Chain A
Amino acid sequence: MTDDTTTDGEPRTDGGTGIVPQDDQAPTWTERKARTQGLARLTYEYFERSRREDEDLRHESDYVERDVLAFPTWPHEMIRNLAITSFFIGAMFFISAAIPPHIPSPANPDATPAVILPDWYLYWSFGLLHLDPINPELALLGGEKLMSDRVYGVLANLVVVGFIAIVPFLNKGSARRPVEEPFWAALGVGGIVFAFTISVLPVQNLVAETFPMTVPELFTLTFILPVVAFFLTYSVLKTMREGYMFELNRRYYRLRPPK
């Protein structure tokens, strides 16, 4: 036996490297799919199906595909973007030079300051920690609160953030503009107003000193004002909606005349 033949007498074609080229024996993708079991097989089947669906949709569609399927960002907007970026960075330099921050006195664990506040963007969260007046007392537990006020405050934070996170799963459909969805727009405006009112809650003592208002009244306003903002926005948008939708539909059907 020489180097040129394998054990069964066939000539060696792999150049002696031992790397065998794919032949009929190597499974094709279809065969691999057929042999695969369980979840992997399901994945293969789904991909094949969705690819076929895409293909079908593309055939049916009369939409002319563009080469660029989004905003082209390079290069015709680059000069404008550079200008905006430079202006924005310049504005930050200007503010930094004009209003530099000063540093408070060093940390002193023994002296509690009169006003304890986090940075402004955490006011809303800080406010949610002051919800103890509405922490329910359950008669079942003999007037005891189900959870401590601090747990309640932390939970309120989670509830607010959690609700915002699931908004896309609650509000579906293709409507985009506030006029098309007065409810959700009003909810947003109410949310913004609530973010402000709940931010005022932690400094209730200061507010009570400055304005003729008791702390319970302030607490009530914290929840009343967002509701007022909600209904105000809702009614305004509802009123606007009819005329606006008419314009919108006219524009839409002018562009895509009904068949």
Chain B
Amino acid sequence: MSIERKDEFDRDEWLAERDLSPVEEVYLISLMWLDKRLRIVDYLELLEDMYYKTNLQMPKSHTEQYNLDNKFWYWYPLYALGSFSTIAYVVAAITGALLGFYYAPSTASTEGMRTVAYSNVLFIMGDLNFGFFLRSLHRWSAQVMTAAVFLHMLRVYFTGAYKEPRELNWILGIVLISLTMVFGYTGYLLPWSQLSFWAGQIGVEMALSIPLVGEWVAQLIFGGFTLGEATLQRMYILHVFILPFVVTALIAVHIGIVWMQGIAEPH
């Protein structure tokens, strides 16, 4: 009789009674050796669990339940516009953060009519590795976001998705689309090119024509009645500091409400 404790799960015996090929035997022995030390079986179980969870039959969506697919499948892309604008927003945020490393909002003159801001954009486009592409991507993602937001609003309008109980989210959407346009406008001014300058001029005039508080608004947003260093810096801070926080928070609330209330499907 051996002093050695009898193994309850005598693997050697189990191995012996199986008629295994050398390859199988080596594989099994190394698996057992590893399992004894790393508890691989637990992780396999986890994977198995995940597999079955992901393959569970999920509850039917509205369209499946009422067999509306034949009627509605061609509308589905329109229901992705909200996601598209969010994705474009994320892309714009990432590229914008990268562009921010190479840009300074200053109207100090460098050479001729060029300012520091304008020269920085020239540097990004001409000298920086992938800079032209980076700026292109930032600009295009902003354009795509704005377009997607407009189309998203049209989809919501024409499918009546703004109706009770979603009125507040509609108004929040109006606020968001307005802020998106302000985002675009402030960004449009940053290169301090000829287009930027005259778009800014229109902005100042619009602000000034507001009755009673016009001058105050112009001072607050544009830093004065004529365009200059203060204007560019205010646009910059709005574009990279204030709006990102405000818009991100509002997008989170907007999507949170959609999550809470569910997607309004056409009936």
> Is B218 close to A, CB under 8 A?
no
The residues of A that contact B185 with a CB separation of less than 8 Å are 118-119, 122
The residues of B that contact A29 with a CB separation of less than 8 Å are none
Q: How far is the CA of A112 from the CA of B61 in the complex (A)?
A: 57
8 A Cβ contacts from A123-164 to B = 125-126, 129, 147-148, 150-151, 153-154, 161, 164
The residues of A that contact B84 with a CB separation of less than 8 Å are 88
A89-102 to B contact mask, C-beta < 8 Å, 1/0: 10011011101110
B160-179 to A contact mask, C-beta < 8 Å, 1/0: 11111011001100100010
- The answer to whether B141 touches A106 (Cβ under 8 A) is no
The residues of B that contact A177 with a CB separation of less than 8 Å are 159-160, 266-267
> Is A175 close to B, CB under 8 A?
yes
Asked if A129 meets B171 with Cβ closer than 8 Å, knowing A92-B144, A103-B193, A171-B163, the reply is: no
> Is A67 close to B, CB under 8 A?
yes
> Is A173 close to B, CB under 8 A?
yes
- The answer to whether A75 touches B54 (Cβ under 8 A) is yes
Asked if A107 meets B141 with Cβ closer than 8 Å, knowing A85-B87, A118-B188, the reply is: no
> Is B118 close to A, CB under 8 A?
yes
The residues of B that contact A151 with a CB separation of less than 8 Å are 209-211
- The answer to whether B262 touches A71 (Cβ under 8 A) is yes
> Is A59 close to B, CB under 8 A?
no
> Is A185 close to B, CB under 8 A?
yes
The residues of B that contact A100 with a CB separation of less than 8 Å are 132-133, 135-136
One of A101, A105, A167, A178 near B162 (C-beta < 8 A): A167
The residues of B that contact A255 with a CB separation of less than 8 Å are 66
One of A92, A109, A178 near B197 (C-beta < 8 A): A109
> Is A72 close to B, CB under 8 A?
yes
Minimal beta-carbon separation of A209 from chain B (angstroms): 20
- The answer to whether A88 touches B166 (Cβ under 8 A) is no
- The answer to whether A165 touches B174 (Cβ under 8 A) is yes
- The answer to whether B184 touches A119 (Cβ under 8 A) is yes
- The answer to whether B209 touches A153 (Cβ under 8 A) is yes
> Is A121 close to B, CB under 8 A?
yes
Minimal beta-carbon separation of B47 from chain A (angstroms): 14
Asked if A106 meets B133 with Cβ closer than 8 Å, knowing A116-B202, A181-B160, the reply is: no
- The answer to whether A118 touches B199 (Cβ under 8 A) is yes
- The answer to whether A106 touches B192 (Cβ under 8 A) is yes
Of A70, A76, A185, the most chain B CB neighbours within 10 A belong to A70
Asked if A104 meets B195 with Cβ closer than 8 Å, knowing A92-B91, A96-B137, A119-B188, the reply is: yes
B interface list, Cβ under 8 A from A: 53-54, 58-59, 61, 66, 80, 83-84, 87-88, 91, 107, 112-115, 118, 121-122, 125, 132-133, 135-137, 139-141, 144, 146-147, 150, 154, 157-164, 166-167, 170-171, 174, 178, 181, 184-185, 188, 191-199, 201-202, 205-206, 208-211, 227, 259, 261-264, 266-267
A interface list, Cβ under 8 A from B: 66-72, 75-76, 81, 84-85, 88-89, 92-93, 95-97, 99-101, 103-109, 111-113, 116-119, 121-122, 125-126, 129, 147-148, 150-151, 153-154, 161, 164-165, 167-169, 171-178, 181, 184-185, 188, 192, 251, 255
3 tightest Cβ-Cβ pairs between the two chains A and B: A150-B209, A70-B262, A107-B197
